[in-house]
Amino acid sequence: MDFNQSPLLVIWEVTQACDLACVHCRASAMPERNPAELTTDQGYRLLDEIRTFGDPLMVFTGGDPLKRPDIFDLIRHSAGLGLRTNISPSATPLLTASAIDKFKRNGVSRMAISVDGPDAGTHDSFRGVAGSFDRAMFALRHARDIALDTQFQTTVTRRNMNKLGQIAERVAEVHSRMWSLFFLVITGRALADDDLTAEEYERVFEFMYQISKIAPFDIKTTEAMHYRRYVAQRMKAEHGITEETINTRGVVWRTSGVSDGRGFVFISHTGEIYPSGFLPVSAGNVLQDSIVSVYRDSSLFRILRDTEHREGKCGVCEYAKICGGSRARAYAFTANYLAEDPRCIYQPSMAAAHA
């Protein structure tokens, strides 16, 4: 795909309303909907325009999308346009078996559910509501039983980094196609004490790399672009193969180069157009601006896609094209989205630095 023209993923935060109060919530979600959310008709128009990108993956997220009474109309419209449509609901009493059946009936191709621990004790303390682990597992099992694809999402923090092996067993148990590991960017309610050090990232990457060899599901990361660097290093060391060969292998490489604003665009509940949900710098608003023009031509998105425009070690790194570092984390730490990723341990070689 030419990421200068089209994103791989379009994420629309349809609402920030949610009945959970997760300790690391990006959206700092609240129980009530914001009256300034995009309306149903504005949503239809947005989806129509997103379709003109071509064939991006359309993801409805929140908050909790089920807090919008028109969510099934929006899903139907998206799927009716031919967009591959995914949804990321919260595990609350709104997520009933009949809601999941309705997702499938209206054209959802995959449902993503967040589970941050292998048991209720770990997960519920994270999510702030007792019973949410059981609801999440119920939803995943029900989807499995009706043959709706699922994505199992885990936010990796110091609370659960030593329990990832047990969580992986849960992923296999519910037959999820994908285990998506989110790494913290200190925004919203995310707590600095939960953030991993650069050394801890490497330990988690080694676990992911080893389990990816035997797991019956794919593994991908969000806001840990340097996992691709880690895999490239390990594969070269183990097999002596080149980056070109690596690029043809596995899901890590299908998303190679994707980062905030590069293959990725996020629309907030009020229509702001961000490079990602973790990089809340607006390049426009869908109520006034064309999302296609903003993605392709705004100075913000253009500079984020240009790997020549990186500072610090990300600016001289030989892995910049497949990694490039988290622009969102750089921004959260320094207010400069071009700075180096402060959670990457790698030191680019001197040859790369002087090239």
Point out which span in 37-45, 60-68, 203-211, 342-350 binds ligand SF4 (CB under 6 A): 342-350
Q: Within 13 A of 51's CA, how many CA atoms are on the CB side?
A: 15
**CB closer to ligand SF4 out of 152 and 346:** 346
Q: Which of 19, 195, 272, 340 binds ligand SF4 (CB under 6 A)?
A: 340
Residue 346 binding ligand SF4, by CB under 6 A: yes
Q: Is 76 in the site for ligand SF4 (CB under 6 A)?
A: no
> What is the 3 state secondary structure string of 147-185?
CCEEEEEEEECCCCHHHHHHHHHHHHHCCCCEEEEEECC
Per-residue burial over 279-308, b if 16 or more Cβ lie within 10 Å, else e, is bbbbbbbbeebebbebbbebebbeebbebe
Q: Which stretch binds ligand SF4 (CB under 6 A): 145-153, 205-213, 264-272, 338-346?
A: 338-346
CB atoms within 10 A of CB 206: 12
In one letter, which amino acid is 307? T
* 243 secondary structure, DSSP code: H
x/- string (CB under 6 A) for ligand SF4, residues 212-241?
--------------x--x------------
Residues 293-332 that bind ligand SF4 (CB under 6 A): 313-314, 317, 319-320, 323-325
Closest CA relative to residue 11, chosen from 50, 66, 54? 50
Smallest gap from Cβ 198 to ligand SF4, in A, equals 9
Kindly tell me which of 129 and 323 has the beta carbon lying closer to ligand SF4: 323
Pick 38 or 320: Cβ nearer ligand SF4? 320
Q: Tokens standing for 292? A: 């296609």
Bridge partners of 222, per DSSP, are 182
Least distance (Å) from ligand SF4 to the CB of residue 70?
40
| Residues contributing to the site for ligand SF4 (CB under 6 A) | 226, 229, 313-314, 317, 319-320, 323-325, 340-341, 344, 346, 348
